[in-house]
Structure 1
């Protein structure tokens, strides 16, 4: 595949456009100009490495000599959304677990000077393919992850990505296959514009006014996950509130989320490139995902030769605590086929 010709712009199909617009409404309240942003001091990196021209905030858990497992979070989500209960159990399974903030969220670099497209530019892009200024693409975010591995002197890692993090993980497997021991793509998609879009009622449910306070941000998160979460599992409002408060207190920046959405738009479909991926791949998707419908996970598994597909009844677009044992077992089993415990 000729990577130079990969980013040809065309009108955005309904699936990709709906996902991006929904994410914009949910994470940013429909804003398109500067809103509330935490002070620069509150968003300052505390434990970061300088890679790919930016600072990436990260945390590492477990034995540094154990097989590394890199967790990549999704749109607007900070690394703290990877539950420490999940991380602890993965460490107990014999992995060194690394989580990090993607660019433009949390304590990693926020590209404020890049600005954000206007609402009109989004509409024109969707309707006519008229491209606004793009600060970066998913491939740049994948390069950030590779830079983090370089800084930690890790030749290759098991890579697990959720939602947009799954898209970034796919880019890693496409562009840096030698750095990926195994790929696990969770509640994500190939970006194929022919795939079904999110359910129509999701748009109206997430179209809310911009948040102005910490309390509103927490309330917004609860309402959002009540809509997109897993109907087959109990809704844990306290957990959602805790993670929303922690994320807000670390660094709240709606404009950064908008730039991530633009990156998804600009990156297009990975379907053709995924056909050449030889990395052992596991695809996990919820059958009840209303935001990224299950067809996205099925298409991912069908696009990657030899990929294993795990569809979970009752799972929506989140990782409920009750599902963690099955999730951890699937990831561990998949990864240990390549790096068995005896290889530590």
Structure 2
């Protein structure tokens, strides 16, 4: 399949509107890790003012805007019910990118310090969703503070990545290890994260409108692209990942390790009924067998192996994923007596 070039995508009428102007209800930079090699600043935003606290943890290189379809759904269209925290892990977005050894456990501690700062400290208050490396960080949060978790939702992630070449191959697909053109980087990432049939399909993204609360709408409104690939490419062009931070995060993901015993203890402490594991059969970044192992070790209340799903359900199956996450939040609230 020959995908449109960066130049072609940049000329699309929809290109200037690829990143939505969703205005947070709260935002800031918070210094963390003062006694752990820092301090370093973590950039965070809260969208919505509702009682249900949802935390979205991104994977390698992801930044706050990568969650815009979830931020729109939960924090703006349903902002009276949800308060959604999106943030940039160390090494990404507007957070600091210190040159040091990163680990998923240290990144989990960064997040917990932000949550303490926000006052999100009560038992069974946090609904956590993490994908890829974000799912590894979510596992570490559950180890450190299991009593604070109302629901734990892990998608397209792993307990550990085996030393069989898969991880380095995945990093190569993401275009981070070797110098290459932006066109090549984006195409490689797209091929690693999504099935081809989705990439070539028409863009059906549900867009913000003038009725969307706390959203600045450009003249002419938000536009659609000719294909899902074009939308993905446009977002990548706008966001341009920091390569040094990307590689340091990749090291953290590559060295993440949770034994079957640690995961069983985690599940006991969080409560298996509160845990969901989701994985796709055509995930080329973290193959589906890793999801099956995570399901075996955690024995979660909900386990989903989805045919035809790649590495990024937040984009490939947005409506279904958002409704699934809403269902998981409702269950967590019910189990917590709210």
Report the TM-score when normalising by structure 1: 0.70
* Partner Cα separation in structure 2 for residue 208 and residue 172 of structure 1: 29
Aligned to 2:233: 241
Cα distance, 1:198 vs structure 2: 6.4
Moved more, 152-161 or 227-236: 227-236
**Counterpart selection for 1:47 from 23, 28, 51:** 28
Whether 1:106 and 2:106 are equivalent positions in the alignment is no
Say if 1:184 and 1:283, in contact at 8 Å, map to a contact too: yes
Question: Using a 3 Å threshold, how does the CA distance of structure 1 residues 218 and 150 change in structure 2: closer, same or farther?
Answer: farther
Question: Using a 3 Å threshold, how does the CA distance of structure 1 residues 143 and 331 change in structure 2: closer, same or farther?
Answer: same
* Partner Cα separation in structure 2 for residue 159 and residue 147 of structure 1: 15
**Counterpart selection for 1:87 from 56, 65, 71:** 71
- 1:144-164, CA deviations, whole angstroms, 9 ceiling, x for partnerless residues? 111111111112310100100
- Equivalent runs, 1:141-152 vs 2, <5 Å: 141-152=107-118
- Equivalent runs, 1:110-259 vs 2, <5 Å: 110-112=97-99, 114=100, 135-155=101-121, 156-191=125-160, 193=162, 197=166, 209-211=178-180, 216-217=181-182, 219-231=184-196, 233-235=198-200, 236-248=228-240, 252-259=241-248
* Partner Cα separation in structure 2 for residue 99 and residue 66 of structure 1: 16
Question: Using a 3 Å threshold, how does the CA distance of structure 1 residues 309 and 196 change in structure 2: closer, same or farther?
Answer: farther
* Partner Cα separation in structure 1 for residue 92 and residue 315 of structure 2: 24
* Partner Cα separation in structure 2 for residue 204 and residue 51 of structure 1: 32
Any gaps of 5 or more consecutive residues in structure 1? 1-45, 115-134
Any gaps of 5 or more consecutive residues in structure 2? 1-26, 34-38, 201-227
- Equivalent runs, 1:302-313 vs 2, <5 Å: 302-313=296-307
- Equivalent runs, 1:32-43 vs 2, <5 Å: none
Cα distance, 1:143 vs structure 2: 0.4
**Counterpart selection for 1:286 from 277, 280, 295:** 280
The secondary structure found in structure 2 opposite 1:328 is helix
Say if 2:104 and 2:252, in contact at 8 Å, map to a contact too: yes
Aligned to 2:3: none
* Partner Cα separation in structure 1 for residue 169 and residue 104 of structure 2: 26
Cα distance, 1:110 vs structure 2: 0.9
Question: Using a 3 Å threshold, how does the CA distance of structure 1 residues 201 and 221 change in structure 2: closer, same or farther?
Answer: closer
Cα distance, 1:85 vs structure 2: 2.5
Cα distance, 1:245 vs structure 2: 2.3
Question: Using a 3 Å threshold, how does the CA distance of structure 1 residues 195 and 300 change in structure 2: closer, same or farther?
Answer: farther
* Partner Cα separation in structure 2 for residue 196 and residue 297 of structure 1: 17
Aligned residues: 269
* Partner Cα separation in structure 1 for residue 65 and residue 164 of structure 2: 30
Cα distance, 1:270 vs structure 2: 4.1
Report the TM-score when normalising by structure 2: 0.71
Aligned-pair Cα RMSD in Å: 2.9
- Larger relative CO (CA 8 A, sep 6+): 1 or 2? 1
**Counterpart selection for 1:97 from 84, 89, 102:** 84
